[in-house]
């Protein structure tokens, strides 16, 4: 008799857990254990934000025991002061490798660009692009900045970040 009680409790516990899992996943759908764990773990996360474009081909990067070689022309180096606007991606002491954009189409949402603003050079993420009466522009914003995106024209862009070295 004790065996049947234990088996009944186990079955009831399984069914309660299964129904709870189905309810939390929207019900009805079939999920693997991994899929259910992933879907449940994704709840409460921020929406997907565009990542930087891939401006390098894997064939352009060679890693050796004593050095790394990146075969790309017209690369420049930059470092930036600590303004906290791009925390935690960029901070004081971080070095970047940049390429000059060849066209407006090469600047995409998610890219990190450096650009001239008055006498300063700033670095922010592209959050959108568009056109108005003055032509093409991109909207940029620091990852950690609370302010509204700023408008940057193509001719103001110094470079697109292709690498961050810490």
* 3-state DSSP assignment of residue 87: coil
The total of structural domains in the chain comes to 2
Top mean-pLDDT range of 32-46, 58-72, 78-92 = 58-72
Q: With pLDDT > 70 as the criterion, what percentage of the chain qualifies?
A: 74
Q: Which two tokens stand for residue 69?
A: 């070689």
Taking the CA atoms of 163, 165, 90 and 120 in sequence, report the sign of the dihedral they define.
negative
Regarding whether 145 and 67 lie in a shared domain, the answer is yes
Same domain, residue pair 142 and 66:
yes
Q: How many CB atoms within 10 Å of residue 103?
A: 8
Q: Which of 23-27, 57-61, 77-81 ranks highest by mean pLDDT?
A: 57-61
Same domain, 104 and 152: yes
Q: Which residue's structure tokens are 């079955």?
A: 11
Question: What pLDDT does 98 receive?
Answer: 96
Beta strand pairing call for 120-132 and 157-165: unpaired
Give the range of the structural domain holding residue 151, as residue numbers without chain letter: 58-165
Residues 129 and 71 in one domain: yes
pLDDT band for 41, please (50, 70, 90 cuts).
low
Q: Is 107 exposed, middle or buried (0-12, 13-18, 19+ CB in 10 A)?
A: buried
pLDDT value of residue 115 = 96
Please list, in sequence order, all residues whose beta carbon lies within 8 angstroms of the beta carbon of residue 25, skipping any fewer than 6 positions away.
Answer: 31, 36, 39, 40
Domain assignment present for residue 119? The answer is yes
Q: For the segment 2-35, what is each residue's pLDDT rounded down to a tens digit?
A: 544 444 444 444 444 444 444 444 443 433 344 4
Which range among 35-44, 53-62, 72-81 shows the weakest confidence by mean pLDDT? 35-44
Tokens 């309810």 -> residue: 23
Shared domain for 74 and 118, answered yes or no, is: yes
Q: The domain spanning residue 107 has which CATH number?
A: 2.10.109.10
User: Given 3-state DSSP classes, what are the helix, strand and coil percentages for the chain, each rounded to the nearest 5?
Assistant: 25, 35, 40
Report which DSSP code applies to 51.
P
Q: Which residues contact 64 (CB under 8 A, 6 or more apart)?
A: none
- Residue 52 belongs to some domain of the structure: no
**42-46, 89-93, 107-111, 152-156, range with the lowest pLDDT:** 42-46
């Amino acid at each position: 008799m004790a065996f049947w009680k234990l088996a009944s409790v186990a079955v009831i516990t399984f069914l309660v857990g299964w129904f709870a899992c189905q309810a939390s996943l929207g019900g009805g759908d079939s999920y693997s254990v991994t899929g259910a764990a992933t879907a449940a773990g994704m709840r409460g996360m921020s929406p997907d934000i565009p990542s930087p474009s891939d401006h390098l081909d894997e064939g352009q990067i060679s890693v050796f025991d004593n050095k790394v070689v990146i075969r790309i022309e017209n690369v420049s180096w930059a470092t930036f002061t600590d303004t906290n606007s791009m925390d935690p991606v960029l901070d004081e002491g971080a070095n970047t490798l940049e390429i000059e954009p060849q066209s407006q189409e090469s600047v995409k949402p998610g890219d990190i660009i450096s650009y001239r603003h008055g006498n300063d050079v700033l670095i922010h993420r592209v959050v959108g692009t568009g056109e108005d009466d003055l032509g093409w522009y991109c909207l940029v914003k620091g990852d950690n900045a609370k302010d509204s995106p700023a408008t940057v024209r193509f001719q103001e862009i110094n470079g697109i970040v292709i690498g961050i070295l810490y």
